[in-house]
């Protein structure tokens, strides 16, 4: 970023976010910002970093020109025009993204071109390589460094804390990092944060993993494959799903985090990210083809994404689901338990553990998974009182039970609409808000509770009731 | 734009350029900026405009949520997903662009989708309507309000001042607004600015047109079809040509400026915007189809764009070309004169003038066009001394003659490379810099001057010589 005043910018015919070339010992490109009084006419304000790159002191003269597109712009234009980018080109582009040398609009053009012109396997491999290469890295000496990833889109579906606990108790090493919610009711990081510190440094992650075999950290500020964070920030403007970017994003993060065994869950269903099993398999095959070029053992599972998984949606409500599965409390969500055991067993199998299904179930039922979970949280929390924290988990004061309007069958519960409903109620900002689902797909009688809404704000409750009326997230026939 | 501090932004899980919904008497969307100390925790800074829309006073409480995509984002996503947008949707989108409610990245997604998914005629018509509808408008009582527009891409090609002078002298009304250079050596506004004020207000334009029958103003700050200016600012990041946007941009500006008769020049050639005559005709037909839905009489001409037109490239050098054609000086560029007469005659014919070719030539040869040009410039300049100004037109001190390396034939002069060469030499910022072409396509002898480079900076001259070596803008065989 460089700063000009308005007169100079006009003279150079540049606007905010345009690029200028600055020439001294070498030529660099920088993005322009315009401020009225920070610099005088014909002056340019450079960052300390840029001054060092150009070996310039205060008051030195430089040539500034708005004449050419940067190399990165040429590459994006090339991709927009339907051509392929090679390894060097993608490396350059990713490094320019990491060094903040591209505007968000340029990143938008790049991702739009990726989506609409597609990326070949070779391009996706090179993109993944480039993304994994830039940024911080974790390394572990253990043999079975493993990770589990769902491509998302299903409301609830908070299997990660349970799978991590089971697999760590089975002896695997899981340096698990998760994101916060982008468009869902909450992300795994939001859910864990209801009871634990999740903003760990790389050093802290190493410490927690060394001590407990796993962690449940927020990945956002770690700088693992940092270009991903910047690209996601642009994609989220439209909540876009861009297949090659999805693959590169997931795999590059796992590679940078030091994982060797990766289980990828692709849920399919009408309101999931992928609508049908055949589309899910097409995506899965691409994951396998790309993953095989890295030192990763990958297993893809295709799971039922026809309705939300678990009962609670929203940070606290999902944590309560997780705890009830781990603690085997009365009324635990059976679907969440079943899927968590399934995924744990698949990841254990991938790491060579035999009789994995029975072992996973045994670890959960014996309470070992719950112990391991507590151990991980305590390590992240520097041994604050676990029981006290979970007893104090708040639920929003305003609540409203929604009942079935008629007797019949719930034929459809829309994942996207349940997520939207939660966001209207205040998730993920208001951690105690969200939706509790009393019924899944199946029979229902008139007057039976279907869901309870939790929120802190009367007006949000009104909005939510309006939304239910208009959008019908749950369909009874 | 709203301002949050970092802690509040983190809590809301929003980043710079993300959107939040603010709810009070109604719900509006705003783009977030984050500053460390401007606002306190849990405070939000609103613009005066936004405060008025929401009817809020200082210190009032509002609900802020990051939960949903705005309606505009949904529409852009729809277009990204290959669906069409209807009239209402495009109107809404354009008005959101005009009101600064979209980020540049969102505009980038929209234009990328326009380019890669295409726009139907119906969509392009609705886009043009929406763009013409928002913003300022000019109206004239005269019957023959006319305009001439080249789609660009040819180096030099500064016909506009000559055509406007000829046609105004023939009795047409030409409220001509032009742009500054985006990627070329200079735009018409840059060229006129070497001798005249071009930053006229709408009132001043009306005054100059009333007095002289025409004007030669910069269109950038007039607010005619203002969404266009914002979209162009994003397109120029990659120097993209997006066909539906090009059509909507040109037609909406003409409609807003009150023109009824529009001549559109589509040059074609290997290094032009359009490579072949058949592609040019395809674009021309689309212009005609779209234009026929508005109260516009449109004529398309397809002209030779195989090489630059005129001898001088750069603001002052192009003005010298224009003046030498108007003043019939020795050594005037024949190609520029011929094309200007041709275009003038076509526009005059479109307005019903008979024997237009001979009349156009006569107006130019009799000096009437030159008088009219002087009249327009004097009106824009509030009667500063015209002769004094044009006598003082500067040429950059450093110059270098490039000679033919061998005897043979100049087979190719690349428009894009000549423009790049000019920008390396300092155009359009340094108005006195640029390229003077001694030869066009045809025979040349070893040692004959081909071009002269003008620049103010030794290092730019070195860069330019490097560029000539590497890129060969002129090819001798």
> pLDDT for B329-358, tens place per residue?
988 999 999 999 999 999 999 999 999 999
Count of all residues that appear for chain A in the document:
477
pLDDT in the model for residue A68 = 58
pLDDT in the model for residue B335 = 97
Q: Using one digit for the tens of pLDDT, what is the confidence trace for A10-29?
A: 777 777 777 788 887 777 88
- Asked if B412 and B446 touch (Cβ cutoff 8 Å), the reply is no
Q: HEC states along A33-94?
A: EECCCCCCCCCCEECHHHHHHCCCCCCCCCEEECCCCCHHHHHHHHHHCCCCCCHHHHHHHH
Find the helix or strand (DSSP H, E) in which B23 lies: strand B19-23
Residues of B in contact with A221 (CB under 8 A): none
CB contact A31 to B (< 8 Å): no
Cα–Cα distance, B118 to B175 (Å, whole number): 32
Q: Using one digit for the tens of pLDDT, what is the confidence trace for A339-391?
A: 999 999 999 999 999 999 999 999 999 999 999 999 999 999 998 999 999 99
* Inter-chain CB proximity B429 and A11 less than 8 Å: yes
Q: Two tokens at A58?
A: 């205060």
SS3 B29: strand
Note every long-range contact of A71-79, with CB atoms under 8 Å and residues 24 or more positions apart, other chains counting: A72/A29, A72/A96, A72/A101, A72/A102, A72/A106, A73/A19, A73/A106, A73/B237, A73/B238, A73/B239, A76/A106, A76/A109, A76/A110, A76/A113, A76/B238, A77/A109, A77/B238, A77/B239, A77/B240, A79/A110, A79/A113, A79/A114, A79/A117
Q: With CA atoms as reference, report the closest residue to B234 among A84, A107, A118, A29.
A: A107
Q: Taking all residues of chain B, what is their mean pLDDT, rounded to a whole number?
A: 93
pLDDT in the model for residue A224 = 92
B353 min Cα distance to partner chain A (Å): 39
Q: Which domains does chain B have, with CATH numbers?
A: 2-65 (2.40.40.20), 146-390 (3.40.1030.10), 398-476 (3.90.1170.30)
pLDDT in the model for residue A46 = 86
Q: With CA atoms as reference, report the closest residue to A255 among A289, A301, A284, A297.
A: A297
The single residue of A241, A321, A335, A387 carrying the catalytic annotation is A241
Q: Most distant CA pair in chain A: distance in Å? A: 80
* Full DSSP string of B209-256: HHHHSEEEEE-TTS-BSHHHHHHHHHHTTTT---HHHHHHHHHHHHHH
Q: Taking all residues of chain A, what is their mean pLDDT, rounded to a whole number?
A: 93
* Whether ipTM exceeds 0.85: no
Top residue of B79, B232, B429, B430 to mutate, by most chain A CBs within 10 Å, is B429
User: Which residue in B has a C-alpha nearest to residue A231's C-alpha?
Assistant: B105
Q: How many CB pairs under 8 A join A and B?
A: 137
Q: With CA atoms as reference, report the closest residue to B321 among B173, B446, B161.
A: B161
The single residue of B241, B265, B321, B355 carrying the catalytic annotation is B241
* Inter-chain CB proximity A429 and B13 less than 8 Å: yes
* Inter-chain CB proximity B108 and A106 less than 8 Å: yes
Report the interhelical angle of A71-80 vs A104-117 (nearest 10°).
30
Query: Which residue in A65, A73, A427 is closest to B238 by CB distance?
Result: A73
Residue B67 predicted with pLDDT over 70 = no
* Inter-chain CB proximity B238 and A106 less than 8 Å: yes
Kindly indicate the confidence band of residue B68, based on its pLDDT and cuts at 50, 70 and 90.
low
Q: Two tokens at A457?
A: 């704000």
Give the residues of chain A that fall short of pLDDT 50.
Answer: none
The predicted model scores a pTM of 0.82
Query: Which residue in B80, B103, B429 is closest to A115 by CB distance?
Result: B80
Query: Which residue in A23, A76, A117 is closest to B238 by CB distance?
Result: A76
Kindly indicate the confidence band of residue B70, based on its pLDDT and cuts at 50, 70 and 90.
confident
B127 min Cα distance to partner chain A (Å): 20
Note every long-range contact of B59-64, with CB atoms under 8 Å and residues 24 or more positions apart, other chains counting: B60/B24, B62/B22, B62/B23, B62/B24, B63/A457, B63/A459, B63/A460, B63/B22, B63/B23, B63/B24, B64/B12, B64/B20, B64/B21, B64/B22, B64/B23
Q: Two tokens at B26?
A: 């109604």
Q: Using one digit for the tens of pLDDT, what is the confidence trace for A203-236?
A: 999 999 999 999 999 998 899 999 988 998 898 8
CB contact B233 to A (< 8 Å): yes
CB contact A136 to B (< 8 Å): no
Name A139's Cβ contacts closer than 8 Å, sequence gap at least 6.
A258
Q: Two tokens at A121?
A: 């396997």
Tokens 């764009």 identify what position? B305
Count of all residues that appear for chain B in the document:
477
Residues of B in contact with A237 (CB under 8 A): 17-19, 73, 103, 105-106, 109
- Asked if B178 and B376 touch (Cβ cutoff 8 Å), the reply is no
SS3 B474: strand
Residue B269 predicted with pLDDT over 60 = yes
Is the bond preceding B202 in cis, omega lying within 30 degrees of 0?
A: no
- Asked if A236 and A179 touch (Cβ cutoff 8 Å), the reply is no
* Inter-chain CB proximity B429 and A13 less than 8 Å: yes
Q: Using one digit for the tens of pLDDT, what is the confidence trace for A88-107?
A: 999 999 999 998 889 999 99
Q: With CA atoms as reference, report the closest residue to A332 among A357, A302, A369.
A: A369
Query: Which residue in A104, A112, A457 is closest to B116 by CB distance?
Result: A112
Cα–Cα distance, B215 to B199 (Å, whole number): 11
CB contact A357 to B (< 8 Å): no
Question: Is A265 labeled as catalytic in the residue annotation?
Answer: no
- Asked if B370 and B327 touch (Cβ cutoff 8 Å), the reply is yes
Kindly indicate the confidence band of residue B20, based on its pLDDT and cuts at 50, 70 and 90.
confident
Count the Cβ atoms, other than its own, within 10 Å of residue B330. 6
Residue A311 C-alpha from the chain's centroid: 21
Name A2's Cβ contacts closer than 8 Å, sequence gap at least 6.
A20, A22, A30, A31, A32, A33, A44, A45, A46, A47, A50
Backbone angles phi, psi at A160, to 5 degrees: -50, -50
pLDDT in the model for residue A30 = 84
CB contact A76 to B (< 8 Å): yes
Kindly indicate the confidence band of residue B232, based on its pLDDT and cuts at 50, 70 and 90.
confident
User: Which residue in B has a C-alpha nearest to residue A184's C-alpha?
Assistant: B67
Q: With CA atoms as reference, report the closest residue to B125 among B277, B270, B286.
A: B286
Residue B205 predicted with pLDDT over 90 = yes
**β-bridge mates for residue B443, sequence order:** B409
* Inter-chain CB proximity B108 and A113 less than 8 Å: no
β-pairing verdict for B442-444 and B312-313: unpaired
């Amino acid at each position: 970023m460089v700063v000009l005043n308005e007169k100079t910018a006009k003279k150079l015919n540049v606007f905010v976010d345009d690029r200028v070339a600055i020439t001294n010992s070498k030529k660099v490109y920088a993005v322009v910002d315009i401020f009225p009084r920070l610099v005088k006419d014909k002056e340019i304000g450079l960052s300390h970093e840029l001054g060092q790159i150009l070996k310039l002191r205060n008051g030195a003269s430089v040539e500034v020109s708005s004449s050419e597109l940067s190399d990165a712009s040429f590459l994006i234009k090339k991709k927009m025009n339907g051509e392929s980018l090679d390894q060097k080109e993608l490396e350059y582009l990713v490094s320019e993204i990491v060094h903040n040398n591209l505007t968000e609009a340029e990143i938008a053009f790049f991702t739009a071109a990726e989506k609409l012109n597609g990326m070949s396997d070779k391009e996706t491999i090179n993109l993944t390589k480039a993304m994994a290469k830039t940024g911080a890295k974790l390394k572990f000496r253990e043999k079975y460094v493993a990770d589990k990833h769902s491509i998302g889109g299903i409301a609830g579906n908070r299997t990660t804390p349970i799978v991590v606990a089971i697999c760590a108790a089975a002896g695997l090493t899981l340096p698990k990092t998760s994101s916060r919610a982008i468009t869902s009711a909450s992300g795994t990081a939001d859910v864990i944060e209801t009871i634990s510190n999740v903003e760990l440094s790389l050093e802290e992650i190493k410490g927690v993993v060394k001590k407990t075999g796993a962690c449940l950290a927020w990945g956002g500020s770690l700088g693992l494959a940092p270009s991903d964070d910047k690209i996601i920030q642009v994609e989220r403007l439209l909540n876009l799903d861009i297949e090659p970017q999805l693959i590169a994003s997931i795999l590059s993060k796992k590679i940078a985090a030091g994982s060797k065994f990766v289980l990828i869950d692709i849920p399919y269903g009408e309101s999931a990210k992928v609508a049908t099993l055949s589309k899910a398999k097409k995506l899965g095959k691409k994951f396998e083809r790309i993953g095989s070029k890295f030192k990763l053992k990958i297993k893809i599972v295709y799971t039922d994404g026809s309705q939300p998984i678990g009962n609670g949606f929203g940070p606290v409500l999902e944590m309560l689901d997780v705890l009830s599965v781990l603690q085997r409390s009365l009324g635990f969500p059976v679907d969440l338990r079943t899927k968590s055991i399934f995924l744990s067993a698949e990841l254990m199998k991938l790491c060579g553990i035999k009789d994995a299904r029975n072992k996973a179930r045994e670890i959960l039922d014996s309470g070992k998974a719950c112990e391991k979970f507590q151990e991980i949280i305590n390590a992240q929390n520097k041994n604050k009182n676990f029981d006290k924290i979970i007893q104090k988990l708040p639920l929003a004061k305003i609540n409203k039970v929604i009942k079935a309007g008629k007797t019949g069958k719930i034929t459809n519960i829309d994942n996207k609409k349940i997520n939207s409903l939660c966001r209207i109620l205040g998730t993920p900002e208001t951690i105690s808000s969200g939706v509790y689902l009393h019924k899944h797909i199946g029979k229902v009688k008139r007057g039976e509770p279907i869901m309870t809404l939790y929120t802190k704000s009367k007006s949000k409750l009104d909005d939510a009731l309006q939304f239910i009326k208009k959008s019908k997230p749950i369909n009874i026939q």
